[in-house]
């Protein structure tokens, strides 16, 4: 089989890219190793940045989020020195989040892509991307029936995440991977419980971090910092809720709304960035380009941004014969990625004490306390926070 652009992965990056290429009349195919039902129900991100909403609106992809997304603009910090709220929607550039679960966005993007004639091959795993140093790259695949297959294309877009075939296919020595293990582990969970705060909750506690993020009026995501290597099922539900209540200082500010834990996963907070993001005819976007920790909700937003940049560059090249956008793609996206990485890293250091108990940790803990005081009292610091927290 042959097409103009083969897109690996039907996540936010791959499906935004597919829709934008489709809108411009460029022939493309999306290869997705999972079944359709799986990607339409897989819960992940939930906070869309204002710029992400603008991108989706620009391309007629925002109907679902306008129908059932909820605008959100407050976060609340709870610390040993008390609690304070930041109405970030009234700070910085005055931008707010839209709370809209990623699986609903993926479902909207998929439905629109297929309705406009787009092709997605589900249960089709990309195995390798070949000949990226030529203008006829190809993708070998394992079809749904297990048989091998092959796609020829003019370009390949690696939107298949950090463990996908695109990363695996990068020629040895052709890419520099900047990696950071932040030394922090979260037990992330989804609870069948209404939100306990009308804000994103960040609890900074000597026992560890706890986070509260609404997803819908009946489902709330929580994070609770745990020891590295903790199995996802190690904590009973009762222990989870008791620990969350303790760290969120439920006795002072009101107990959390408890409910059944319907999903849990342990995630080690790490980040990485690949440089460059272009390898001949192969382009990386989304998590395939760089993983940003879920602290500060940047991953899905970067994926949408990079997809729009790549789509514009591919259209310029394939329709107008202008390759300037493709030549500039990597540097342009990396500037956004590093801004997001820097803020996410700052947030991790703000919310988590240093691991280890040596003297420097008391120094770092005092730094952290001072940062929180500055965020509580300094308007310019709050403007900086708001601009980066919602910006991409
Ligand atoms: P995705 O991983 O979404 O999509 C890649 C697709 O490629 C997948 O469907 C996969 O099945 C497919 N694939 C992989 N290998 C393949 C192959 N060889 N062949 C074919 N298909 C292949 N981000 C936020 O902004 N906020 C959050 O709150 C947040 N919470 C998260 C919670 C969890 C538990 C996880 C895991 C991630 C979270 N993220 C969050 C990050 C997440 O949303 C990603 O940044 C986002 O999904 C990135 O989108 P894509 O790059 O499209 O990759």
**Token pair for residue 238?**
């009762």
Q: What is the pLDDT of residue 358?
A: 56
Length of the chain, in residues:
392
DSSP state of 176: E
Active-site pick, 88, 155, 202, 222: 202
3-state SS class at 214: strand
DSSP state of 296: T
Active-site pick, 88, 155, 336, 389: 389
172 pLDDT band (50/70/90 cuts)? Answer: confident
**Token pair for residue 45?**
């991100």
At 79-123, the pLDDT tens digits run 999 999 999 999 999 999 999 999 999 999 999 999 999 999 999
Cα–ligand 1 centroid distance for 28 (angstroms) = 20
Q: What is the pLDDT of residue 357?
A: 53
Does 259 or 354 have the greater pLDDT score? 259
360 pLDDT band (50/70/90 cuts)? Answer: low
Active-site pick, 298, 345, 352, 388: 298
305's enclosing H/E stretch is helix 299-320
Q: Is 59 a catalytic residue?
A: no
What's the CA gap between 142 and 146, in Å, rounded? Answer: 6
Active-site pick, 294, 329, 336, 345: 294
pLDDT-above-70 percentage for the chain: 98
Q: Is 329 a catalytic residue?
A: no
What's the CA gap between 125 and 104, in Å, rounded? Answer: 23
What's the CA gap between 263 and 184, in Å, rounded? Answer: 20
What's the CA gap between 349 and 220, in Å, rounded? Answer: 24
Which residue has a Cα nearest atom 34 of ligand 1?
A: 44
Asked if residue 147 lies in contact with residue 58, where contact means CB atoms within 8 angstroms, the answer is no
Residue with tokens 């192969």: 282
Phi and psi at residue 197, in whole multiples of 5°?
-130, 160
Mean pLDDT of all residues in 174-191: 96
User: What is the number of alpha carbons within 13 Å of residue 125 lying toward its C-beta?
Assistant: 10
Q: What is the pLDDT of residue 325?
A: 98
If one residue of 45, 143, 170, 274 were mutated to test the ligand 1 pocket, choosing by the most ligand atoms within 8 A of its CB, it would be 45
Residues framing ligand 1 (Cβ under 6 A): 8-14, 31-34, 39, 44-47, 102, 125-126, 159-161, 164-165, 188, 265, 267, 286-287, 294, 297-301, 303
Q: Is 336 a catalytic residue?
A: no
183 contacts: CB under 8 Å, gap ≥ 6: 228, 269, 354, 355
How would you list the strands of the sheet with 120-121, edge to edge?
120-121, 28-31, 5-8, 155-158, 282-284, 278-279
Q: Is 298 a catalytic residue?
A: yes
Least confident of 30-34, 137-141, 143-147: 143-147
Q: Give 75's strand partners.
A: 86, 200
Mean pLDDT of all residues in 243-250: 97
Q: What is the mean pLDDT of the chain?
A: 95
Mean pLDDT of all residues in 239-251: 97
What is the distance in angstroms between the CA of the first residue and the CA of the last residue of the chain?
Answer: 37
What's the CA gap between 221 and 229, in Å, rounded? Answer: 21
Asked if residue 187 lies in contact with residue 203, where contact means CB atoms within 8 angstroms, the answer is no
Q: What is the pLDDT of residue 355?
A: 59
> C-alpha distances in angstroms, 284 versus 45, 300, 333?
20, 14, 10
Residue with tokens 């004639």: 117
The string of DSSP codes covering 49-108 is -HHHHHHHHHTT--HHHHHH-EEE--EEEEETTEEEEE-GGGSTT---EEE--HHHHHHH
Q: Of the candidates 80, 78, 75, which has an alpha carbon nearest to the alpha carbon of residue 382?
A: 75
Q: Is 294 a catalytic residue?
A: yes
Q: Of the candidates 8, 277, 27, which has an alpha carbon nearest to the alpha carbon of residue 128?
A: 8
Which residue has a Cα nearest atom 45 of ligand 1?
A: 299
Q: What is the pLDDT of residue 183?
A: 93
Mean pLDDT of all residues in 212-216: 89
If one residue of 299, 301, 389 were mutated to test the ligand 1 pocket, choosing by the most ligand atoms within 8 A of its CB, it would be 299
At 24-74, the pLDDT tens digits run 999 999 999 999 999 999 988 889 999 999 999 999 999 999 999 999 999
For β-strands 282-284 and 278-279, DSSP reports them as antiparallel
295 pLDDT band (50/70/90 cuts)? Answer: confident
């Amino acid at each position: 089989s042959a097409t103009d652009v083969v897109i690996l992965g039907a996540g936010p990056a791959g499906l935004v890219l597919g829709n934008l290429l489709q809108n411009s009349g460029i022939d493309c195919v999306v290869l997705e190793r999972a079944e359709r039902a799986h990607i339409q129900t897989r819960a992940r991100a939930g906070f869309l940045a204002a710029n992400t909403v603008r991108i989706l609106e620009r391309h007629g992809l925002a109907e679902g989020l306008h129908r059932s997304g909820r605008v959100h603009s407050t976060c609340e910090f709870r610390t040993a020195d008390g609690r304070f709220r930041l109405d970030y929607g009234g700070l910085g550039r005055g931008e707010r989040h839209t709370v809209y679960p990623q699986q609903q966005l993926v479902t909207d993007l998929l439905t629109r892509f297929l309705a406009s004639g787009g092709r997605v091959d589900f249960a089709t795993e990309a195995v390798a991307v070949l000949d990226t140093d030529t203008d006829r790259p190809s993708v070998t695949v394992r079809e749904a029936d297990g048989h091998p297959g092959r796609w020829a294309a003019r370009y390949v877009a690696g939107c298949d995440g950090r463990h996908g075939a695109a990363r695996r296919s990068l020629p040895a020595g052709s890419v520099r991977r900047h990696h950071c293990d932040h030394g922090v582990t979260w037990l992330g969970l989804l609870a069948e419980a209404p939100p306990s705060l009308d804000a994103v909750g960040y609890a900074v506690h000597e026992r560890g971090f706890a986070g509260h993020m609404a997803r819908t009026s009946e489902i709330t995501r929580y994070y609770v910092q745990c020891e590295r290597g903790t199995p996802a099922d190690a904590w009973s539900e009762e222990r989870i809720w008791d620990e969350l209540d303790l760290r969120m200082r439920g006795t002072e500010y009101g107990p959390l709304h408890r409910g059944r834990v319907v999903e849990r996963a342990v995630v080690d907070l790490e980040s990485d960035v690949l440089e460059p993001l272009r390898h001949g005819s192969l382009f990386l976007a989304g998590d395939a380009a760089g993983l940003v920790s879920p602290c500060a909700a940047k991953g899905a937003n970067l994926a949408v941004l990079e997809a729009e940049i790549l789509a514009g560059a591919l259209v310029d090249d394939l329709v107008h014969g202008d390759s300037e956008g493709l030549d500039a793609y990597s540097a342009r996206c990396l500037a956004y990625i590093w801004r997001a990485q820097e803020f996410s890293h700052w947030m991790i250091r703000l919310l988590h004490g240093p691991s280890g108990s040596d003297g420097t940790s008391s120094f770092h803990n005092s730094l952290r306390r001072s940062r929180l005081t500055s965020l509580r009292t300094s308007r310019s610091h709050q403007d900086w926070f708001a601009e980066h927290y919602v910006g991409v």
